Amino acid sequence: MAKIEVVNVTKRFGKFTALKNINLEIKDNEFFVLFGPAGAGKTTLLNNVAGIQIPEEGLIRFNGEIMNRIDPAHRNVAMVFENYALYPNLTVYENIASPLRSPLYKKDNATINREVHRVAELLRIDHLLERLPSQISNGQKQRVAIGRALVRDPNVFLMDEPLAHLDAKLRHYMRSELKEMQSSFNTTCIYVTHDFLEAVSLGDRIAIINEGSIIQVGTREEVYYTPCNEFVAALVGEPEINLVDGRLFVDNGKYYVETLEKGYLLPLPESSGIVRKLVDSEVTEYHIGFRPNNIKYTFEKKDGLIRGTVYSFESIGNKAVLIAKVGEKYIRMIAPNDLKVKLDQAVYVELPIHKAIFFDAQTTNFIGTSDEAAIYRLVQEQLSKGVQ
């Protein structure tokens, strides 16, 4: 168990700068997720914490102690690799036992036996202990790799896209199982992923990282309801958030945004404080984000709704995504799985202005949200943290 600090870390590979002045503070016992697209530098950061790579600039601290010059073996970290990295010539049992046989963390045989069986039971692989890695499935290999880390009592538990190579079905299942096991980890975890669902399901806090820089660090609610810019908004959420152009419009002391079509006005909700935020920002051109699950639609003409045509209708498991073409804009919405709909038929869309996220059209930075429930929840969260 340890508090991990990453201070002003810069890592270069030749002329390429993989990490640019990264600062992070990961609390003791926290499950911390590094989330970002491929090539963002997530794995590099993890390798720097593990000691597999050493930063050119900056410090890595465990519980305040500088780790830069300590080799991986002596950092007491456990790591799960994307490609599992099991020892192909050793049985599952020996793979899991490997850390306990190393000169540094050596335990007697009875302890090893007990620990390996404890971990194997937790991971439901106790029937595979005598097999070789080549004789088990990918999902099982993944469990063995996790087992090799769980068998120890490390400062920090590092996981590098552990589910990325599994097929969709298994990945969802393993994610739920990992969530179930989380409470038995009992140590600080840093988890790298490019999958939004893994990030929000598992992370106590999420750091969003892109092109070697940290974009935002926050809880699931913070990054989902108050993303610091459009990049984060697009990354967090599935299907992707809809971003439409909008302009502030004032009439008779009432505030509106004009969006999608000229003259299509949405009244800004007074109580949410969004009006104040928009006015204070002195920005009048916005990109307004609407989450697909908040958008309502109907197939009958109704006042105040904007007309579009059905561009596509796709089932995504237990629900479906309906895409409406409004002018040149495509609006994604969640619909029930069994909706009867024809392509190109008319659809009327209601943009939920009371659940909108506003970004500066120029800088793409976050200005404010009109979602009162979200704001309330965030405040509650802050308060409960204060109480703790």
- Assigned token pair, 119: 């971990």
61 or 319, CB closer to other proteins? 319
8 vs 137, beta carbon nearer other proteins: 137
Token pair 């059905």 in the structure block, residue: 310
Q: Return the number of the residue (96 or 265) whose C-beta is nearest other proteins.
A: 96
Judge contact between 166 and 138, C-beta under 8 A: yes
Nearer to other proteins, 102 or 111 (CB): 102
Residues forming a β-bridge with 73: none
81 SS3 class: coil
Contact 333, 374 (CB under 8 A): no
Q: On the CB side of 85, how many CA atoms lie within 13 Å of its CA?
A: 13
CA 278 to chain centre: 28
- Shortest distance, CB of residue 26 to other proteins, whole angstroms? 18
Nearer to other proteins by Cβ, of 131 and 247: the residue is 131
Q: How far apart are CA 243 and CA 246, in angstroms?
A: 9
d(CA 387, CA 381): 10
Q: Is there a contact between 184 and 28 (Cβ–Cβ < 8 Å)? A: no
What's the rounded Cα separation, in Å, for the pair 338 and 319?
Answer: 8
**Please, what is the minimum distance in Å from the beta carbon of residue 373 to other proteins?**
8
Q: Which is nearer to other proteins, 64 or 103 (CB)?
A: 103
Angle between the N-to-C axes of helices 92-101 and 109-122, in degrees from 0 to 180, rounded to the nearest 10: 130
Per CB under 8 A, residues contacting other proteins are 38, 47, 50-52, 71-73, 76-79, 81-83, 85-89, 98-99, 102-105, 132-134, 148, 167-169, 172-173, 175-177, 179-180, 182-183, 197, 200-201, 220, 224, 236-240, 291-293, 311-312, 314-318, 320-321, 323, 334, 337-338, 343-344
Q: How far apart are the first and last CA of the chain?
A: 20
Choose between 201 and 364: whose C-beta lies nearer to other proteins: 201
- Nearest distance, CB of residue 171 and other proteins, angstroms: 10
The residues that bridge with 205 in the sheet, in sequence order, are 32
Cβ partners under 8 Å of residue 263, min gap 6: none
What size, in residues, is the chain? Answer: 388
Nearer of residues 59 and 316 to other proteins, judged by Cβ: 316
| Long-range contacts formed by 370-373: CB under 8 A, 24+ apart | 370/268, 370/269, 370/272, 370/274, 371/225, 371/272, 372/269, 372/271, 372/272
Q: Which is nearer to other proteins, 103 or 253 (CB)?
A: 103
